[in-house]
Amino acid sequence: MMPKERILQLRDELNQHNYRYYVLSQPEISDMEYDRLMHELIALEKEHPDLADPASPSQRVGSDTDNTFTQVKHTYPMLSLDNTYSEDEVRDFDERTRKTLYLDKVEYICELKYDGVSISLQYENGRLVRAVTRGDGEKGDDVTPNAKTIRSIPLLLKPGNHPDTFEIRGEIFLPHKGFEAMNAERAETGEPIFANPRNAASGTLKTKNSALVARRPLDCYLYYLPGLEKHFSTHFESIQAAKEWGFKIPPYIKKCSNLDEVFAFIAFWEKERDGLPFDIDGIVIKVNAYRQQQLLGFTAKSPRWAIAYKFKAREAITTLLSVDYQVGRTGAVTPVANLEPVLLAGTRVKRASLHNADQIALLDIHIGDKVTIEKGGEIIPKITGVDLSARSADLKPVRFIEKCPECGTALVRSQGEAKHFCPNETDCPPQIKGRLEHFVSRKAMDIGCAEATIEQLYDHGLLKNAADFYNLTAEQLVKLERFARKSAENLVNSIELSKQVPFDRVLYAIGIRYVGETVAKKLARHFLSMEALRKASVDDLIQVGEIGEVIAQSVIGYFANERNMELINRLVQAGLQMQMMTVETNISSTLHGKNFVISGVFRNHSREDIQQLIASHGGKNQSSVNSNTQYVVAGDGMGPAKREKAAKLGIPVISEDDFMQMISS
């Protein structure tokens, strides 16, 4: 098959798989097979740049270039909707609408009001050509490279009767599952977490690095086609046609012939919205017939043919009874409010987060205050306000504690940190138990040891740090309450099996601050062994993708601690994996005896991919350029110091293409 034919075939296959997976939720192939097809397409397009196509599925991986947003004027203004929290105002809207149209009743379309970021997509000849944010309603930011990374937005439409040029609008949002995973990863790397999915979606869409956007699980529902009154008679007809063209149209739509049906739709989703995998904040009510929409027209700010009914805020008022202070495995101290139990969003709430000392000071909160608690995008309710008018003179203000509630050590708060920390890492019980629980967790060492078991082993003096797991015997365990011979042997066997856990998970398990699962993988793949990582300098560490000064200093500080090194040495003696192991034999010995330094950002491979390719072809990776280096593989943004040193030592600096040619030959 000729390259052009294969490229076109791959594009068609990948477009179909994208549609089935992201729009229909009916995948036909595995992720591995999808990735194989995508890699083949990218390679072919690179070999034949004359066949490039901006609508190719390969464009969804994004670019590492810094995209500057330009302002684009909307063909049709993106007006906001009139909002109401009152059913009476919805009745007034209906009455005005019927009066203007001289009708006894009007057919409405009810849709969910998605809590995301509005987007306008423009298509020409079935291809996505531009994506623009709402902006000020008259013009918005061109975010086309970012929108192309969102898999539910079609780059190329199915063949059909769609107009040559048209615009479709909708909402980009972040589903709950993706939001929680993204925030967990940010917390692990020391980055500030997003307050809610809407902020996360908005912040992501305005990120200037589309490769970063591609790694975040944004989704998009489309629900409005402006300017197509000549093609369709109703709004409902237009979005059903858009669904046939390949757009992801939300299924939560209902035609309503009267207000009773509208209010039934509102009542249903106000009750059931917690079961949705994304956030909504109300219901949109639209006149269905395009001819009627034209007769109703617009005000300066909003259409007269639509209104948004907003759900009331999920908040409740209760009494603050006391404040507890919880100590985590990193020593972070979190204040938690104990409340008079109250029903909120279908659950009984008796505790709420106060976050940190700054939040307590901002609220000026007193024990006994009447407080407002809110449950929004966050999982844990938070206190958002205090009713000062209900406060009596004898109530005492909350003062953040000065000493650890568990071990009595004076708390510290570093510059730039929002939280206070207990510095007593080695002897503070909740920190020790927290680290032990983290060590045995499924994504770390995967040891079958429950939290209650760790508590019991700690209380009996059998566990003080992670290395103590590898000294436990069944004979010791059967003497404890709730341990039978079988359960004791199961735990000992699980501990023994953990010795086969790969190095990157061991690195995650030891609990270096800011080194979460993702960072641990990057460090393990870059340095390949605990010993090499221990010897790394700050400069060496920040050469690893997405490793900044904060993480680098944390790693250096961990290995500088004598007790931590004692732990590592004991884990080595226990037989844990302290270097990267490959199950397969090397692909070749092409690079045997050659040392490589990787620097910069690459088009077709991550730095970790290139490092693995070097190792699998018999070469070795180095973190810095020296007289033992044979090649420097350079991408965009290579550090000038490395380039200068390579030139001084006469070391060849080769490109990604040069390297791939080297191993392919």
Active site residues: 113
Torsion of CA 522, 523, 525, 527, to 10 degrees: 160
331: left (phi over 0), alpha (psi -120 to 50) or beta: left
Tokens representing residue 139 in the block: 């013009």
| HSE toward the beta carbon, residue 156, CA cutoff 13 A | 18
The C-alpha atoms of residue 463 and residue 477 are separated, in whole angstroms, by 12
Strand ordering across the sheet containing 306-310: 83-84, 306-310, 280-287, 108-114, 253-256
Is residue 149 within 8 Å of residue 158, measured between CB atoms? no
Is residue 158 within 8 Å of residue 246, measured between CB atoms? yes
Q: Is 461 helix (H, G, I), strand (E, B) or coil?
A: coil
Burial of 132 (0-12, 13-18, 19+ CB in 10 A): buried
The C-alpha atoms of residue 58 and residue 130 are separated, in whole angstroms, by 17
Burial of 594 (0-12, 13-18, 19+ CB in 10 A): middle
The C-alpha atoms of residue 510 and residue 491 are separated, in whole angstroms, by 19
Beta strand 127-133 with 117-124 is antiparallel
| Helix (H) or strand (E) run with residue 119 in it | strand 117-124
138 DSSP assignment: S
366 DSSP assignment: B
Helices (H), 514-561: 517-527, 530-535, 538-542, 549-560
The C-alpha atoms of residue 47 and residue 434 are separated, in whole angstroms, by 52
- Which of these, 638, 588, 633, lies nearest to 615 by C-alpha position? 588
Tokens representing residue 152 in the block: 């539910």
Helices (H), 246-288: 259-272
Strand ordering across the sheet containing 631-634: 620-622, 595-599, 631-634, 653-654
Torsions phi, psi for 83 (to 5 deg): -110, 150
| Residues facing 320 on adjacent strands | 339
Residue 273 amino acid letter: R
The C-alpha atoms of residue 200 and residue 181 are separated, in whole angstroms, by 12
- Which of these, 343, 326, 345, 344, lies nearest to 335 by C-alpha position? 326
The C-alpha atoms of residue 166 and residue 122 are separated, in whole angstroms, by 6
Q: How far is CA 461 from the centre of its chain?
A: 40
- Which of these, 463, 538, 543, 537, lies nearest to 495 by C-alpha position? 463
The C-alpha atoms of residue 665 and residue 663 are separated, in whole angstroms, by 5
511 DSSP assignment: T
